[in-house]
């Protein structure tokens, strides 16, 4: 059954964008979901045409031209689905603002009838029998899953920014660099506008890293806000799914579709009663969202050294932009803890990889290629030697090293919560990272990024802050309290409006026909 449009915010936004869309033509690179809905409504665009435009870009730039290598599997029924949704729009009306909008998913997400490989050649042909949570909710909203994207190989030992199935990905802003792991395919695909919106996932920083490296906006949500059912994970207790887009409006539309309680992922029990009935778009406040907001600068998350100098200068400019937009900036704020060392001691993926993988494989049913991680390793021993220690992990209930890491995580959560209470903060800001993306062929550095959000489970919103001298993007991160996504979106939308740091990559220029209504 199609979902009725009932959100007052949806209707207001649609009216506003329709006025704008009728007054000017739309460029595919910068058109928001609101703009596209207006073009659907006034007849200047159909979903079928939109899918064709994106497929033409994939054809021109993914395996040819700059050869970004972001797409693993295209949905063979995408055009058929688009035509059906166009008919439905005419006869019944749209289900939501995602009706007829193409989406790409990192190839860890199950979509019925399309293989899920995690970039690992040993999972080629592994096809789920049903949609995972994210695909199910997106489809119910009328979205089209256009493609599954390449990623850093989830199981085999592969170079940074590469997988054994899909090969090396390239950053559209500088083709000598990777697009950031591990959701790099989603990041680079969105930057090159191969789709309107996408989803990544992260154990550590894998939503935020490609968001930063590809001049996007991305949300690592509160742990438990979005179900991981039908998603390959490495760590059950801190793995997250999250939306990525070229602007915050699109991100909020996607987030609205997928946030919610799922009885098959009990982590989402914490989200009950914490999700706004009217969706997340209503919290965007580009004109005054920063005015009077209390924002703490956590300088403990600023790294030092000559390689970080240029990045730090850019982030200082971003902080000045926050002040100029009316924010009350508390600089510095300090937990008094050695955060970087504690963050290293809070990650548990080496302990949970086995149980997380076994959980996913069990959900594939009797036709699963492998019964367990141990089975996968035994059948691919030459490729998976790196996983042998994880496969030997026993019961976690009494593992002292594992339990100590969970305790460290609790201490981090308490420290950040206390800091925000002490200064009455709406959010904390710091650079996501202050060094450039990893060069292809090089090894990713240990001091590359900041994992505070993933090791606390607190939400983090990442937005473009500018560019390095070689054209690579850099981002600022807003960290909030659990389930404070509405606050982060309010602050982020005002920063987005006052800073205007998004710019499309030169490597993937517009193609003929991408001026909608022109």
Catalytically active residues are 106, 182, 206
- The residues with which 109 forms a beta bridge, in sequence order, are 231
Tally: H helices and E strands in the chain: 16, 15
Give the tokens for residue 434. 């202050």
How many CA atoms does the CB half-sphere of 176 hold within 13 Å?
6
Answer for the pair 242, 199: CB distance below 8 angstroms, yes or no: yes
How far is the C-alpha of 340 from the C-alpha of 347, rounded, in Å? 12
397 C-beta neighbours (distance < 10 Å), count: 7
- C-alpha to C-alpha distance for 204 and 213, rounded to whole angstroms: 15
Locus of tokens 């932009």: 321
Of 191, 232, 103, 157, the closest CA to residue 437 belongs to 191
Contact (Cβ atoms closer than 8 angstroms) between residue 254 and residue 199? yes
Per DSSP (E only), the strands in 174-322 are: 197-202, 217-220, 240-245, 294-298
Residue 217 β-bridge partners: 245
- Helix ranges restricted to H, 105-247: 133-140, 184-191, 208-213
| Sequence-distant (≥ 6) Cβ neighbours of residue 393 within 8 angstroms | 350, 351, 353, 354, 399
Tokens 């778009």: give the residue.
281
CA–CA distance, 276 with 320 (Å, rounded to integer): 31
């Amino acid at each position: 059954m199609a979902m009725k449009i009932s959100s007052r915010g949806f209707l207001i936004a649609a009216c506003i964008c329709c006025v704008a869309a009728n007054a000017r033509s739309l460029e595919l690179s910068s058109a928001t979901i609101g703009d596209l809905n207006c073009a659907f409504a006034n007849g200047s665009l159909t979903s079928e045409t939109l899918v064709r435009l994106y497929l033409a870009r994939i054809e021109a730039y993914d395996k040819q031209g700059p050869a970004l290598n972001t797409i693993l599997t295209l949905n063979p029924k995408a055009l058929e689905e688009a035509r059906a949704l166009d008919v439905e729009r005419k006869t019944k009306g749209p289900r939501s603002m995602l009706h007829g909008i193409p989406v790409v998913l990192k190839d860890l997400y199950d979509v019925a009838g399309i293989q899920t490989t995690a970039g690992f050649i040993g999972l080629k042909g592994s096809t789920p029998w049903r949609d995972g949570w994210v695909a199910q909710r997106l489809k119910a909203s009328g979205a089209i899953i256009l493609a599954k994207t390449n990623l850093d190989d989830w199981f085999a030992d592969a170079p940074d920014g590469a997988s054994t199935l899909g090969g090396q990905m390239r950053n559209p802003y500088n083709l000598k660099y990777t697009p950031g792991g591990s959701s790099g395919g989603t990041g680079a695909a969105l930057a090159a506008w191969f789709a309107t919106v996408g989803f990544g996932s992260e154990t550590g920083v894998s939503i935020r890293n490609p968001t930063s490296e590809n001049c996007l906006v991305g949300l690592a949500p509160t742990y438990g806000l979005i179900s991981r059912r039908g998603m390959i994970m490495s760590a059950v207790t801190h793995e997250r799914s999250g939306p990525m887009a070229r602007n915050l409006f699109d991100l909020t539309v996607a987030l609205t579709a997928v946030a919610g309680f799922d009885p098959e992922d009990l982590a989402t029990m914490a989200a009950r009663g914490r999700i706004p009935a009217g969706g997340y778009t209503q919290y965007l406040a580009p004109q005054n969202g920063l005015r009077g907001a209390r924002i703490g600068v956590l300088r403990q998350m600023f790294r030092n050294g000559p390689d970080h100098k240029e990045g730090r200068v850019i982030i200082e400019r971003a902080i000045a932009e926050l002040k100029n937009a009316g924010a009350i900036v508390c600089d510095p704020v300090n937990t008094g803890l050695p955060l970087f060392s504690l963050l290293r001691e809070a990650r548990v993926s080496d302990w949970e990889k086995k149980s997380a993988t076994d959980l996913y494989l069990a959900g594939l049913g009797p036709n699963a290629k492998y019964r367990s991680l141990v089975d996968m390793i035994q059948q691919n021993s030459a490729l998976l030697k790196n996983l042998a220690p994880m496969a030997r992990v026993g019961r976690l209930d009494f593992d002292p090293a594992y339990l100590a890491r969970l305790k460290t995580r609790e201490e981090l959560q308490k420290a950040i919560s206390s800091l925000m209470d002490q200064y009455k903060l709406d959010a904390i800001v710091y650079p996501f990272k202050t060094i450039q993306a990893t060069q292809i062929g090089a090894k990713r550095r240990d001091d590359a990024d900041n994992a505070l959000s993933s090791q606390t489970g607190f939400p983090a919103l990442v937005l473009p802050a500018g560019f390095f001298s070689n054209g690579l993007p850099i981002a600022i991160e807003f960290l909030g309290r659990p389930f404070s996504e509405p606050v982060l979106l309010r602050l982020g939308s005002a920063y987005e409006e006052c800073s205007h740091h998004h710019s499309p990559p030169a490597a993937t220029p517009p193609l003929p026909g991408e001026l909608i209504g022109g």
